[in-house]
Amino acid sequence: MSNEEDNSMPRTNASDVVAMVARSGLGAVPLVGAALAEIVTVLIPNQRSARVEAYVKALAERLEGVVARADALDLADPWKIDLFEEGAFQSARAVSDQRRDYIVSVVARGLSGEQIAVADAKSILWILRELDERQLVILVGYLPQNGWNSEYRRLHADVFETSMPLTMGTPQEEVSKRTYYNHAVDGLVTLKLLNEIFRVDDLKMAKLDHNGKPEVSRRVLSRLGAEVLFYLGFEVKREHHY
C-alpha cells in the first residue's frame, strides 16, 4: 500500500472506537439504548472536558498564590509536563470536586518545587489513583483532629459506623457494610498508608485470632500515609509518623 493511500485513511482514536462500538450495540435496545447512546456520545465527552477545564482553572489559581513569576515554574520541563498531564487525566475521571481538589493540590506542590518534588508528586498521584472515595474518607479520618468523637466522623458516619459486633442476627446490610470497610482498610495497609499494631501476650509474642493470623490491636497513620495527606493539602506533622 502506498503512502498516499495510508494518508487517506481516516484517523480514529481509542475514544472514537469505544463510542462507535457502544453505539452499534445500543441501537438494538430502542428505549434505554437511546439514552445510553447519548451518554456515550455527548455527556461523557462534555463532562470530562468540563472537569479538565475546572482542573486547569483551579491549578492556575493555586499556583498564582505560590509563585511570583510564571517562568519560575519552568513549565517547559518535560517532567512537569508529564505531571500536569497525569493530573489532567485523573481529573477527567474525577466525579467529585473533592477528588479534583486533591489532584490540584498534589500537582501544584510538584510544579512549584524542584525535580525531586515533581517525582514525589507523581508517586502521590499514582497512590491517589489507587484509592476509592471510601478509602480517602478513612485515610483522612486517621488525622489526630479527626478522632472518634470528631465532627468529621459524624459527617461520614455512613463510612465509620462499623463498631457493632457481628452476630448471627446481624442484618445483612451491616455485614456488607463491615465487609466493604474492612476491604478498604486492608487496601490502605497494603499500600503502606497505615501501619498495624498487633496484640501481644505476656511473652511479647503476637496473639493469634481464630484464623491463625496476628490480632490487630489498632492501626496508625504511616509516614507514607502522612506524606499523602500532606500532598492532598492537609496539615499533618509528618515527623510524628514512621
Residues 168-212: tens digit of each pLDDT: 777 888 888 888 999 999 999 999 999 998 888 777 777 877 777
CA dist 108 → 55, 65, 165 (Å): 11, 10, 43
User: Can you give the pTM of this predicted structure?
Assistant: 0.77
Residues for the chain: how many in total? Answer: 242
Greater confidence (72 vs 167) lies with: 167
Q: Could you tell me what percent of the chain has a pLDDT over 90?
A: 37
Compute how many other C-beta atoms are within 10 angstroms of the C-beta atom of residue 107.
30
Mean pLDDT of 5-11: 45
The per-residue pLDDT for 31 is: 55
DSSP 55-79: HHHHHHHHHHTT-S-GGGG-TT-HH
Residues 11-64: tens digit of each pLDDT: 445 455 445 444 445 455 555 545 445 555 665 577 788 888 888 888 888 888
Mean pLDDT of 124-130: 96
C-alpha cell at 209: 485470632
The per-residue pLDDT for 8 is: 44
